Structure 1
C-alpha cells in the first residue's frame, strides 16, 4: 500500500466545515490510482477558529483517511524537527509538502527558510532512505500582493527551493518541485486571500496530482470533477 503524508500549514490542515485539498486529492486518487493507498500522519483534526486550536473533526465529508502532519501557523521551521519521527511511526512513502508562507511571514528569511527545507529533507531521509517528496512553492497570497518586500522574499525563497530540489534530488529518493497551480487567483481561489476555498482546494490537489503523474506515473492528470 502506498502511504502518502500531507505536510503543511493552515492551507493543508484546513478549518472546520471544509473539505480540504487533502480530501480532493484522495477522491482523485480513488478514481485514478491503480493500487491500494492511504493518507498517514500523526494528526487528523481540523483547525477550529472559535477555539483557536486544532480540535475540530467537522469535515465537510469526513469519510476519507484524514491523517496528516499539518498545523495552523506552522512552517518548515516547525516541521523539520517533527518529520523524522512522523515518517518512522507512520511508514510514509510519499510526502506532499506545502510550507513556507508562515516561515517567511513570522520566523525566517528566505535563506534561513531554505536551510530548514534542507534539514527537513535530511531528517525525512534518515527515517526512510527511499522516501519520495513533492514540494509545493509558496503560492500567491494576499500579503505578497500588498507588501512588495514580502513578495520579494517569497520569490527569493521559491528560487532557493528550486535550487534545493535540484541539489538534493536523487534516484533512490526523488524530490519533485511541484508547479504552482496555473493562474492561481487569490480572489477566486481563496476565501480570504490566503486560504483555499473549494475551487482553490481543487487547484492545489491538482498541482500535486499533476506532478506525481508526470514524474512518477502515480494516478493521472487531475480533473476537478473527481474530487
Structure 2
C-alpha cells in the first residue's frame, strides 16, 4: 500500500465547511489509481476561523481519510523540523507538498525559504531514504499582484525551488516539481484572493495528479467532476 501525506499551509489544511484539495485528490486516486493507497499524517482537523485553532472536524464531506501534515500559518520553516518524525511515524511513501507563501509573507526571504526546502528534503529522507516528493510551486495570490516586492520574492523563490528540486532529485528518492495549475486565477479560484474555493481545490489536486501521472504513470488524467 502506498501512503500519501499532504503537507502544506492554510491552503492545504482548509477551514471549517470546506472539502479541501486533499479530498479532491483522494477522490481522484480512489477512481483512477489501481493499487491500494491511504492518506496519512499526524493531523486530521481543519482550521476553525472562529477560534483561530486547528480543532474543527466540520468537513463538507468528512467521509474520507483526512490525515495530513498541514497548518494555518505554517510553512517550510515550520515543517522542516517536523517532517522526519511525521514520515517515520506514519510510514509515508509519497509527500504532496504545497508550501512557501506564508514563509515569504511573514518569515523568510526567497533564499532562506529555499534553504528550508533543502532541510525539509534532508529530514524526510533521513526518516525514509526512498520517500518520493511532489512539490507545488507557490501559486501567486492577490498580495503578489498588489505588492510588487512580494511578487518578486514569489517569482524568485519559485526559480530557486526549481533549482533545489533539480539538485536534490535522485533515483531512489524522486523529487518532482509539479507545474502550477495553468488556468488558476485567484479572482475566480479563491474566496479571498488566497484560499481555494471548490474550483481552486480541484485545480490544486489536478496539479499533483497530473505530475504523478505524467512522470510516473500513476492514475489517469484528472477529471474534476461536478462537485
TM-score bracket for the superposition, by shorter chain length: over 0.9
Which sits farther off after the overlay, 175-184 or 69-78?
Answer: 175-184
Structure 1 segments unaligned to the other structure (5+ residues) = none
The secondary structure found in structure 1 opposite 2:189 is coil
Aligned 1:1-227 pairs, distance under 5 A: 1-225=1-225
The secondary structure found in structure 2 opposite 1:199 is helix
Query: CA offset at residue 113 of structure 1?
Result: 0.1
- Contact map agreement 2:140 2:151 (CA 8 A) in 1: no
Distance 1:218 1:141 in 2: 30
Distance 1:224 1:196 in 2: 14
- Contact map agreement 1:140 1:184 (CA 8 A) in 2: no
Query: CA offset at residue 183 of structure 1?
Result: 2.4
Query: CA offset at residue 226 of structure 1?
Result: 7.8
The secondary structure found in structure 2 opposite 1:83 is helix
The secondary structure found in structure 2 opposite 1:125 is helix
Query: CA offset at residue 121 of structure 1?
Result: 0.1
The secondary structure found in structure 2 opposite 1:205 is helix
TM superposition outliers: structure 1 runs of 4+ over 6 Å: none
The secondary structure found in structure 1 opposite 2:192 is coil
Query: CA offset at residue 149 of structure 1?
Result: 0.3
What TM-score does the superposition give when structure 1 sets the normalisation length?
A: 0.99
What TM-score does the superposition give when structure 2 sets the normalisation length?
A: 0.99
The secondary structure found in structure 2 opposite 1:96 is strand
Q: Render the CA deviation track for 1:179-212: whole Å, top value 9, x for unaligned.
A: 0001210111000000000000000000000000
- Contact map agreement 1:94 1:132 (CA 8 A) in 2: yes
Q: Render the CA deviation track for 1:27-68: whole Å, top value 9, x for unaligned.
A: 011110001101000000000000100000000000000000
Aligned length in residues: 227
Query: CA offset at residue 218 of structure 1?
Result: 1.4
Query: CA offset at residue 217 of structure 1?
Result: 1.4
Give the CA RMSD over aligned residues: 0.8
- Contact map agreement 1:76 1:103 (CA 8 A) in 2: yes
Distance 2:175 2:225 in 1: 28
The secondary structure found in structure 2 opposite 1:215 is helix
- Contact map agreement 1:47 1:53 (CA 8 A) in 2: yes
